[in-house]
Amino acid sequence: MPQRFKFRARDVARTFTASAAVTALALTAACGSRAGEETAAAESCVDTSGDTVKVGALNSLSGTMSISETTVRDAIYLAVEEINAAGGVQGKQIEIVAEDGASEPTVFAEKAEKLIREDCVAAVFGGWTSASRKAMLPVFEDNDSLLYYPVQYEGLEASENIFYTGATTNQQIIPALDYLAETGVKSLYLVGSDYVFPRTANAIINAYAADKGIEIVGEDYAQLGSVEFSTIVNQVNASGADAVFNTLNGDSNVAFFREYANVGLTAEEMPVMSVSIAEEEVGGIGVENIEGQLAAWNYYQTVESPENTTFVEAFKAEYGAERVTSDPMEAAYNSVYLWAATVEKAESFAVEDLQAAADGVSFASPEGTVVIDGDNHHVTKTARIGQISADGLLYTVWESEGPIEPDPFLEGYDWAADLKVTE
């Protein structure tokens, strides 16, 4: 029932982005349309009569998130170049209009509005933080336009106007738990940064653990950016847990893993499963502090497939041999190809045609074949557990049997029935 989901997603988003919504409404009013009504969406101004078609790339090129989001932008440009070299979409060359989200959700909303209304782009690729996505969501819904969002997130959302090409929780966190359970883990310690993603993730983990008989021996949150982990690590050490599930973000990971290694904890006696440590972060932590620890993603640079070999080679040829490819970059690269494939299938650039045609559209991506689910607009993804090795790269130690169907509201899991993390 996508309609119900849409409504819920919007409700949540509205509360978080009142200002963005007000801006959007004010702009709608200024343009002389009927403001305040659901049908207020302006007629699309997308012009596809020429031999080019415009799309938007909306990433933070400045501010704290620029480190991550510029890599996503690079991947989007690479995909567009490749598609153009192969003849374009519906015979039209793709032209990118780039905007800077500046690591500010409100800027994301403004720039999305600009891309849709002034630049008349057929679709927008980008966004990273959940806050930026929540801010853009009403803009895309009110203008009935399309956003392709490439980052793993906390789930519990499904908008008709967004395609989610990163993992939802049942494609990342639950497989990670399955893996730990398989390896005999009976007790877990949860450590996370104090914001929506870790809180939601840990609510899911608690429900899972209660069902599977895994004991949660501790749950700790540190402020985003906190660098004091002495107490938490002491408690983890004293808890005797079989493993640690880590949802820390940013610089906190560096302090946590250094402390962890320094009190003598190792990956052999108490492994740490992380969901936000990719190739890029390992360097800053220092590989000697984190070697052997685990991470859960859908893609690593080391995935062995012909598609990935081609992708990594093309990326390094374009941006330099020292660059690494990561999960969100791969998901962003896929999103452009999925959009192009949907357009080819629909033989149209119109939003309603793409929404109608999206179900079942697939792409042979570096991580394996991904297929769009027309109901919830997520894609199937293969879950992979990676182990950090001495060369700073992650190598797959376990992968799911084939791609996992997306289930953003965890409706296929009985133990998740009582989860009320949206409210």
Partner 1 sequence: MDLLVGQLFTGLSTGSILLLAALGLSLTYGQMGVINMAHGEFIMAGCYTAYVTQQVVGDAGVSLLIALPTGFLVGGAMGLILETLLIRHLYHRPLDTLLVTFGVGLVLQQVARDVFGAPAVNVTVPQFLRGGVDLLGTAVPKTRLFILALAIAAVAAVTLVLRFTPAGRRIRAVVGNRDLAETAGISSRAVDAGTFFIGSGLAGVAGVALTLIGATSPTTGQSYLVDAFLVVVAGGMGRIKGAVVAAIALGTFQAVFETYSTASLAKVGVFVVIVVFLQLRPQGLFTLRTRSLA
Residues in the chain: 423
Q: Is 183 exposed, middle or buried (0-12, 13-18, 19+ CB in 10 A)?
A: middle
Pair 125, 332: CB distance under 8 Å: yes
Rounded least distance, CB 198 to partner 1, Å: 11
Which spans of this chain sit near partner 1 (rule: CB under 8 A)?
Answer: 64, 66-67, 194, 219-223, 225-228, 230-232, 234-235, 237-238, 251, 253-255, 258-259, 261-264, 280-281, 283-288
In whole angstroms, give the CA distance from residue 408 to residue 412: 10
Rounded least distance, CB 243 to partner 1, Å: 19
Q: Which of residues 304 and 322 has its CB atom nearest to partner 1 in the complex?
A: 322
Q: Which of residues 135 and 232 has its CB atom nearest to partner 1 in the complex?
A: 232
Rounded least distance, CB 216 to partner 1, Å: 14
User: Which among 105, 162, 103 has a CA at the least distance from the CA of 132?
Assistant: 105
Rounded least distance, CB 119 to partner 1, Å: 28
In whole angstroms, give the CA distance from residue 142 to residue 21: 9
Structure tokens at 72: 């996503």
Q: Which of residues 158 and 191 has its CB atom nearest to partner 1 in the complex?
A: 191
Q: Is 35 exposed, middle or buried (0-12, 13-18, 19+ CB in 10 A)?
A: middle
Rounded least distance, CB 388 to partner 1, Å: 13
Q: Is 86 exposed, middle or buried (0-12, 13-18, 19+ CB in 10 A)?
A: exposed
User: Which among 285, 324, 287 has a CA at the least distance from the CA of 308?
Assistant: 324
Rounded least distance, CB 335 to partner 1, Å: 23
Q: Which of residues 284 and 402 has its CB atom nearest to partner 1 in the complex?
A: 284
Q: Which of residues 183 and 237 has its CB atom nearest to partner 1 in the complex?
A: 237
Place of tokens 């200002």: 19
Rounded least distance, CB 190 to partner 1, Å: 11
Q: What Å distances lie between residue 92 and 49, 344, 349, 404, CA to CA?
A: 10, 11, 11, 33
Residue 29: partners with Cβ closer than 8 Å, 6 or more residues away: 35
Rounded least distance, CB 85 to partner 1, Å: 30
CA 80 from centroid of its chain's CA atoms: 20
Q: Which of residues 126 and 198 has its CB atom nearest to partner 1 in the complex?
A: 198
Cα end-to-end distance, the chain, whole Å? 19
Q: Which of residues 257 and 299 has its CB atom nearest to partner 1 in the complex?
A: 257
In whole angstroms, give the CA distance from residue 404 to residue 174: 11
Rounded least distance, CB 252 to partner 1, Å: 8
Rounded least distance, CB 103 to partner 1, Å: 11
Q: Which of residues 258 and 316 has its CB atom nearest to partner 1 in the complex?
A: 258
In whole angstroms, give the CA distance from residue 101 to residue 86: 30
Q: Which of residues 286 and 292 has its CB atom nearest to partner 1 in the complex?
A: 286
How many CB atoms sit inside 10 A of residue 327's CB?
27
Q: Which of residues 41 and 224 has its CB atom nearest to partner 1 in the complex?
A: 224
Q: Residue 79: enclosing H or E segment and its boundaries?
A: helix 66-85
